Chains A and B, each alone.
Chain A
């Protein structure tokens, strides 16, 4: 499955969610489908997207939060999985696009390509719902099921190691940050 197709497939389900993405391909691809005020792209601080999502989810328990993480980013903050699991906010859906690669910096392989299984790591950390999917139909159904479940979920989607030609978009980092804050204030 291509990450861009996966994002397109669930794009309409993001309407009422606070969405936090990691940097690089995920941010650029989501913007290419169409930026919305409820999307925040963490364009650096690798590893912390899930922590930002946790901070939002704990601050606003009635607001659904979706984090789009990646294998390289999550591997930088595996301890954060134990923190997610410890507080297990019911309103947090943690999606991990696993392309087994640090694609944005040249495609170097990560450990998920050979040995590390992130959904099992999340489950062992204590995340109550986990899944690993490889087909887009599975991704769509697991994403929808997670949104209905009302329980912290880590959904790992195995995706092709392909991305956009460029990562810089015309959306300024601070413009995005203040727009997102205003959006959250309005909810």
Chain B
């Protein structure tokens, strides 16, 4: 599978360096290594979800209880989580670090991903959620730290888009 194991490790290490100790996730191809890394790490609680919107609630609870968390999801999972983001995290000013695999954009071969890819950034923008695109492995640690810093200083959600260039090796 040409999902980048090396870059997945860099992303995971960056999350841990930021103090993330709880990660909610729903599997998708680009996220398999990241989810495995979270599952294997005894310092991280991985919460496998039935639907991504649950992850908003779990991150809300974790934040109120003093634990730093992150959400791992595909962009279609983000689309499935929107009401929770708006009427949970945004209404209650909860910092939310969302790592979203940006499927369905340039280079996408799976026809079923393409509609989601076409709307993801526009939906994030309409929700006033700042977007950080990760494509350079050398900058992953810095960018994830910056994203989390803004989430906490603003008490708001931020979106870190995991791009094809970062996650897929034969792009």
Contacts and interface: CB of A to CB of B under 8 A. Distances in A.
A173 B91 contact: yes
Contacts of B73: none
Contacts of B48: 83, 86
Contact of B88 (A45, A56, A174, A180): A45
B56 A58 contact: no
B88 A48 contact: yes
Nearest to B67: A59
Contacts of A46: 83, 87
A48 B65 contact: no
A59 B54 contact: no
Interface residues of A, number: 37
A50 B84 CA distance: 13
Contact of A44 (B55, B87, B94): B87
B128 interface: no
B53 A55 contact: no
B62 A59 contact: yes
A58 B45 contact: yes
Contact of A51 (B54, B67, B83, B94): B54
Interface string A161-176: 0000000000001100
A55 B94 CA distance: 13
Contacts of B67: 59
Contacts of B92: 42, 173-174, 177
Contact of B87 (A45, A181, A184, A185): A45
A174 B93 contact: yes
A49 B61 CA distance: 9
Contact of B65 (A49, A87, A184): A184
Contacts of A60: 65-66
A82 interface: yes
A80 B56 contact: no
B138 interface: no
B150 interface: no
B138 to A, nearest CB: 33
A59 B51 CA distance: 20
Interface string B18-43: 00001000000000000000000000
Given A44-B88, A79-B54, A87-B47, A52 B93 contact: no
A40 interface: yes
A75 B65 CA distance: 26
Contacts of B79: none
A49 B84 CA distance: 11
Given A79-B50, A83-B48, A59 B66 contact: yes
A47, A56, A184: most-surrounded residue (chain B CB, <10 A): A56
Interface of A: 18, 20, 40, 42-60, 63, 77, 79-80, 82-83, 86-87, 173-174, 177, 180-181, 184-185
27 contacts: A40-B64, A42-B88, A45-B83, A48-B53, A48-B56, A48-B60, A49-B57, A51-B56, A53-B61, A54-B58, A54-B61, A55-B47, A55-B57, A55-B58, A55-B60, A55-B61, A55-B62, A55-B65, A57-B61, A59-B65, A63-B65, A79-B49, A79-B54, A80-B51, A83-B54, A180-B64, A185-B66
